[in-house]
Amino acid sequence: MSHKLRFGIAAGALLAACAGSSLAAAPLLAHWGLDEQGGAQALESVSGRRDQVNYVFNRARYKPDSAPQWRAAGSCIREGCLLFDGYSTDIAAPALSAGQLAQGFTLSAWVAPHAFEWGDGGHYSAFLSQFDAGTQKGFSFGMQRFGTWGVKLGFGEVIADVRVKDHKLPRDAWSHVAASYDAVRHRVALFLNGERVAEAAAPADAVFTLPRRPLTIGRYSQPEQVGGVFKLNTFLGLMDEVRIAAGPSDAAAVARGMQADLARRGGKAPQLSLADMRVPASAFDGDRHRPQYHLMPDAGWMNEPHAPFYYGGQYHLFFQKNPFGPFWHQIHWGHWVSADMVRWRELPIALAPEDDGLATDGIWSGSAAYAADGTPVLFFTAGNDSAKPNQRTGIAVPQDLRDPDLARWSKYPAPVTLQAEGQGRHGEFRDPFVFRDGARQRWFQLVGSALPGGSGTALVYESADLRNWTPRGPLFSIDAKRFPGFDATWELPVLLPVGKGADGRERHVFLNDVRGQAYYWTGVFDAQSARFTPDVEAPRTFDVGQGHFSGPSGFVDPKTGRSIVFSIAQGERTLRDEWDAGWAHNAGLPVTLSLGADGELRLAPISELASLRRQLLLDLRDASAGDAAAALAAVHGDALEIELEIAPSGTAGRRGMRLRVAPGQAALTDLYVDTARGRLEIDRTRTSDQRAYGVQGGALDVKGEPLRMRIFLDRSMVEAYVNERKSLTSRIYTERADADGLALLAEAGDRIVSLRIWAMGMAGTAATAGTASKGN
């Protein structure tokens, strides 16, 4: 029978310190200075051995190989340090032997965590680990949820787990951590920045021993996994001066070692900037699939961009972010700012799960509104698995309105909206969307849910102060039997004004996400009854790319009065593909919504995107299809904007563009309107010779108008807008670097009214200057 002893030691309840003089420094067994600043090996200076630094781009699949994320001396404790990316970076070293640690040991390192894992399996995100759960032997030294940290020692029959909960590690700042085990006195001690913060007794009748398992720096020895691809329990952040000593230490000995490390820095660790903690854009140079002018984070996984607002001369946009890698897990709120909604800067993480009883398990999607005094307020889904249901609405406000970036946010300590019995399908309660009704000086909150035994819906709440909310019932519902699949939760509800209908009444568009696809209805919202009456009951597909466009969010731009929608452009890759790429997903282009004279919704990319046009490659007017085809032969590129207008000859057929064409048409992708079938489609059957991607699309009626098509090609991303009536978002994953040609799809007798093509510049994102955030 095995036993596990866990000690959560508070500083005020430490065991009594032992009498006597300070211990001499224990002899070093191993030391990794991490000063290399290049290459894929780390010197272990005691033995002179060079250990492998594992990293996704050591053997890159989609780009040229590149070294791990080394940092220069200015950001580090001594001559250099290493950024662990949270999923692919660790250092593999030979196993230590039990004989080497017979008298005990001291493990130490300088660490600057960027974020804290969820703690899957109860394991540490390890700084150092040589542990085997099956035999219960070895050690694992690392951090846990919310910045708690400690060490786990396996004695065969007994595991001693000593944790520090009241001296948590800060994010984005250097800390010195050490763990000591005294095999003679059977004591375990933990030290933070040279001070003992925990001590506990180890089993006196058990012998510490080690498994025959490699030593790992930066990852737990037996990590939990996602899909058999992503390894969890992995450190994210900077690490420096990692040491293992053959004997125990006390506070004085640990402090002396710290002081020696900092001697050339005047006794202070360097302050870190956000750029120190992020993977730079240059790490992805040469990636043939990574978009260049679509919005995306520095690295890792993103989902819905949400909570847009304008304040102090800047647009703000937040997004679902996993800072640990390109996979869904431990969701935070990332944050961007922009002057034009085109060129964005990524700021520190705005909201993170914390041990606050509010959102301990995730900060999920939401929106933004303004308080009565104009202060921006964020509304988010507070994930807390200890609550039933585990989804509530939380709010956060800026810590300092004088900060032009509003980089730091404070959560209100309690949820402001709870789902009560009888309010929708219990346990389905997320993605709050908040807006103000100016006429009544009241705010409305829509929360995605479903009706028991019926369709999905958005539950409506009303408030006079943004903190106290009164339920008003469901916004509207539809016949789930007539429309199969719409009994699912209506996630990410959005309600925006789009203009007056033919009857003179103001129209709104209601958008949502059902099973990964965005739908919409136009209709009338009555603030008095808090009900929405759709013009047509049937849901309509917003984008016909079949799942690439999802996660809608939106706002009314106070500068221009435009209703603007943001979206996530989903990838179409396996977990292994995304592991190899280092990123997953990007935002779609911002789109303006309005109502046409015929009462139908119109959509178009925002006009500010024209500022990305770097060079006009082709400007053709009133030409035959043959002349246009000849002119296109000289145009190449994978980051383009294309404007095409065709006056059809009257013959039904396919009209549009052939994209990403390789020499000899060895690879190509067709994007077209098929007037014979009334469809907008993308045919990717010849995109790749390694995978069949198929045809995507949906119904489109251009109402007899000349065909007007705008296409935004951005490496793997493609967005098309046809006659402002329908969009298509998709992916083009071609293996060929020379697949950068274009061709015209037209029928005999068609006239090309105009064909203009621009090479697009990079928008990208950059980490903001200044210091990194150290908390919310």
| The pLDDT of residue 704 is above 90 | no
The whole-number pLDDT of residue 23 equals 72
Work out the burial of residue 1: count CB atoms within 10 Å of its CB; fewer than 13 is exposed, 13-18 middle, 19 or more buried: exposed
| The pLDDT of residue 220 is above 80 | yes
The whole-number pLDDT of residue 259 equals 96
What's phi and psi for 99, nearest 5 deg? -65, -35
Secondary structure (H, E, C), 575-588: HHHHHHHCEECEEC
The whole-number pLDDT of residue 440 equals 75
List, for residues 411-422, the tens digit of each pLDDT value: 999 999 999 999
| The pLDDT of residue 553 is above 90 | yes
Nearest CA-CA partner of 197 in 147, 237, 145: 147
Q: What is the pTM of this model?
A: 0.95
The whole-number pLDDT of residue 764 equals 59
The whole-number pLDDT of residue 8 equals 42
CA pair distance 597, 20, nearest whole angstrom: 89
CA pair distance 387, 445, nearest whole angstrom: 21
| The pLDDT of residue 744 is above 70 | yes
Secondary structure percentages of the chain, helix, strand, coil, to 5: 10, 45, 45
The whole-number pLDDT of residue 650 equals 85
CA 423 to each of CA 385, 418, 427, 448, 465: distance values in angstroms, whole numbers, following the listed order = 20, 10, 10, 11, 21
The proportion of the chain whose per-residue pLDDT surpasses 70, expressed as a percent, equals: 95
Beta bridge mates, 302: 321
Helix (H) or strand (E) holding 433: strand 430-437
| The pLDDT of residue 252 is above 70 | yes
Residues 24-52 have a mean pLDDT of 96
The whole-number pLDDT of residue 772 equals 55
The whole-number pLDDT of residue 546 equals 87
pLDDT band at 16 (very low <50, low <70, confident <90, very high): very low
CA pair distance 218, 238, nearest whole angstrom: 10
